[in-house]
Structures are given as C-alpha cells and as structure tokens.
C-alpha cells in the first residue's frame, strides 16, 4: 500500500478541514444541545462537492476514491460527528445505487443525492431485525406494474429530511434471506410516514427515525437489482458503510487527542502543568498510538477497496478497532479534564457521548468479530 496521498486526496482532505473548522465546529455544540438537524451544514457540504463524493462525474458527483472519502469523513467528524454520519449515509446510498442501479435508475436518482433535498436514507433495520438483517418483516407484494410496501423500519438516519430512501423488504417469505429485495422510494411517497426522531445520548443533530409503510405504492421500475438480491445489496452497502464509520471514529479520536493535549498544557496542579505528570502522559501516549493504528487500518481498507480487492474482513477490522479505540479515547479525555470533562461547557463531554454509538451502528462490535473470525477461520 502506498501511504503517500495523491494531490486529489490531499485536496479533498484540505477542503473538508477548512469547512469543518470554519463552519461545522463553531455550530456543533448548539446543534447538539437543541437536537437540531444540520440543515445549513448539509447545504455547505453540497456546495463544497462533498455530498456526492461517491457519485460518478457523469451524474454530477465528484467521483472521489475511497481514500479521499475516508480522509474527508475524518475531518468532518473531528468537528461534528452528527454531520459526518449524515454525510456517510448519503454516500452509502449513492455508492450502492451506482453499483446496482440500471442506467435509467442512475439517471433518475443519482443526481438527487448531490442535493440537500435529495438526501439519502438507508432503510434496513427493523424493531426485531438489527444485527439479524435477514429477519425482516416489511413486505413488498408484486402487483404488476408496482409493489405495495407494508411494514416498519427503525433507527433510519436522516429519514425526516431524506428525499431518497433505499428500502429492503421481503418479496418471497419462503426463500428467507434470498427472498429480500431492495427498492428506491421517493421521500414523501404516499403510504410512507416518518415518525419523530429518537431522543439520543449522542450525535443528537443526526436524526434517527422510525419509518412506517402502509400500502405504499412503489413502481416496479424502482426495484434495485433483481428480486431476491436485497440482502446482497444491503451487505455491499454495509461493507462500505463500515469504512465510513471507521473514518468517523478516527475523527473523534483525533479530536479527543487534541483536547487532551491542549488542556493538559494549560491546566496546572501542584505547581506545574498536568502534562508533566506520567499518569497524563501515558493516557496521551495510548491515545496517540491508537489514533495512528485506527487511521492506518481505515486507510488500508479504503485503499484495498479502490484496488478492487474484497474488503469485508478489512472493513470489519477497521470499524471494530477504530470504534472501540474512540470510546477509550473519549474516556481518557474525560479523565484528563477531571470534573470539567463532565460539564457540557467543554467539548469532551460531547465527544464522550458521540463516541458511544460507534460500536453499535453499521454492525455492532460483536458482529464485526463474527465477520473477522469467519474470514480468519476459512
């Protein structure tokens, strides 16, 4: 793997860094406190060409490689993880469409995902089907020129602001996991209702909502891939999504380290900066090592994806290590800040809350370990 960045990759990182520092970081605490969806941030991302990073140029996107995408998410998450996950899910939907859609579907749907109004939502999870993605109950009945969708989804990121939904539903219950299909559903479609967003511990500006389908009529032309290919479509998206969440985790790790370094040099105890104490130095050292390891694992998975290699195992490794390391770093940062780390007046309190979900979405740590073990044991 060539660890040197190309000019395009460095430019993508720099663009994201400038946007993050000038606009996202100053607004992050207020958005979090109010559980306010980052409407302006999404507009800024669109104007910077980042909303459609993974969309081909032929359909108005930036067509950036996976390494550029990972670097961009790291910078955005360093400022605001809620904005980063909104961006990650949009690009997950866009990339999945680019990989599985027909030419007509690409023409109709991909350009929307470049716009704030066409934000993407990935509708897989259900109340009884989280880690067990094959246990879906949402049904799609074929009625000639259309399908009727009935069922419920939950924890759907950006659902209340989305214009493009990628929905997995059962078309043939007898075939179990091979009877799941994927559909493109337009935001505001008749028969689809988005519920109130969940009151969450962290990443509160990213809205996660239930979505209900009651005789929602979806044109047969909106079937993505063939009937029965829905789980294949979903799992392909999750592999890419895990690189996204690993990247987001690296961003939080970086922010934790920066806060620890700054505060430990400013705060004094017993007549000297607490950075002079070995206990603090070891926490900083451990965080710096884990940041380097998490970043390299993530970029290695991204590089392999760009090289056309299978990434299931490597993406799982990156997501597992980076997400758990981010939680450890958030804990250490809070310890370094002491009582102030428990106050909402300080950034590390938000970082601590934002980090917690990283080991849960896009596959729990336990699922990542299963994926890794199955590959290692082959």
- End-to-end CA distance of the chain: give it in Å, rounded: 24
Helix, strand or coil, per DSSP, at residue 268: strand
**Which residue, 35, 43, 46, 41, is CA-closest to 76?**
41
Q: What kind and span of H or E run contains 68? A: helix 66-79
Work out the burial of residue 190: count CB atoms within 10 Å of its CB; fewer than 13 is exposed, 13-18 middle, 19 or more buried: exposed
Q: Where are the alpha helices (DSSP H) in 101-212?
A: 103-109
From the candidates 18, 47, 362, 366, which is the catalytic residue? 362
**Residue 177 token pair:** 């996991």
152 as an active site residue: the answer is no
Give the C-alpha distances (Å, rounded to integers) separating 296 from 1, 242, 243: 10, 15, 12
Report DSSP letters for 46-73, one per residue.
HHTT-TTTTS-GGGT-----HHHHHHHH
Beta bridge partners of 376: none
Q: Which residues are CB-neighbours of 189 under 8 A, at least 6 positions away?
A: 165, 216, 217, 218
- In this structure, the strands spanning 120-123 and 164-170 are parallel
For residues 205 and 212, the answer to whether their CB atoms sit within 8 Å is: no
- Write out the catalytic residue numbers: 362
């Amino acid at each position: 793997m060539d660890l040197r960045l190309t000019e395009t990759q460095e430019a993508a990182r720099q663009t994201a860094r400038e946007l993050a520092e000038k606009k996202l970081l100053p607004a992050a605490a207020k958005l979090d406190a109010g559980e306010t969806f980052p409407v302006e941030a999404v507009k800024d991302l669109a104007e910077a060409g980042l909303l459609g990073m993974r969309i081909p140029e032929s359909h108005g996107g930036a067509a950036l490689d996976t390494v550029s995408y990972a670097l961009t998410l790291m910078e955005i998450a360093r400022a605001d993880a809620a904005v980063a996950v909104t961006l990650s899910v949009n690009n997950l939907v866009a990339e999945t469409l680019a990989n599985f859609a027909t030419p007509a579907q690409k023409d109709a749907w991909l350009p929307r995902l470049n716009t704030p109004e066409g934000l993407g939502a990935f509708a897989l999870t259900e109340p009884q089907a989280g880690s067990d993605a094959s246990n879906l109950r949402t049904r799609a009945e074929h009625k000639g020129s259309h399908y009727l969708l009935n069922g419920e989804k939950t924890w759907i990121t950006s659902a209340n602001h989305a214009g493009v939904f990628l929905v997995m539903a059962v078309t043939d219950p007898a075939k179990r996991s091979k009877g799941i299909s994927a559909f493109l559903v337009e935001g505001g479609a008749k028969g689809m209702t988005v519920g109130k967003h969940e009151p969450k511990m962290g990443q509160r500006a990213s809205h996660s909502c239930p979505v209900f389908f009651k005789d929602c009529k979806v044109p047969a032309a909106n079937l993505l891939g063939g009937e029965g290919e829905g789980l294949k479509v979903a799992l392909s998206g999750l592999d890419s999504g895990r690189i996204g969440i690993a990247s987001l985790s690296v961003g939080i790790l970086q922010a934790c380290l920066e806060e620890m370094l700054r505060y430990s040099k400013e705060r004094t105890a017993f007549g000297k900066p607490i950075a002079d104490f070995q206990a603090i130095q070891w926490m900083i050292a451990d965080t710096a090592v884990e940041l380097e390891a998490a970043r390299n694992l993530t970029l290695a998975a991204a590089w392999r994806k760009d090289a056309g290699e299978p990434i299931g195992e490597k993406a799982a490794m990156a997501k597992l290590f980076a997400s758990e390391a981010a939680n450890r770093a958030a804990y250490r940062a809070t310890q370094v800040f002491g009582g102030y780390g428990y106050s909402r007046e300080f950034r590390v309190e938000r970082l601590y809350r934002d980090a917690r979900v990283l080991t849960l979405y896009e596959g729990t740590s336990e699922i990542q370990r299963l994926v890794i073990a199955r590959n290692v044991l082959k």
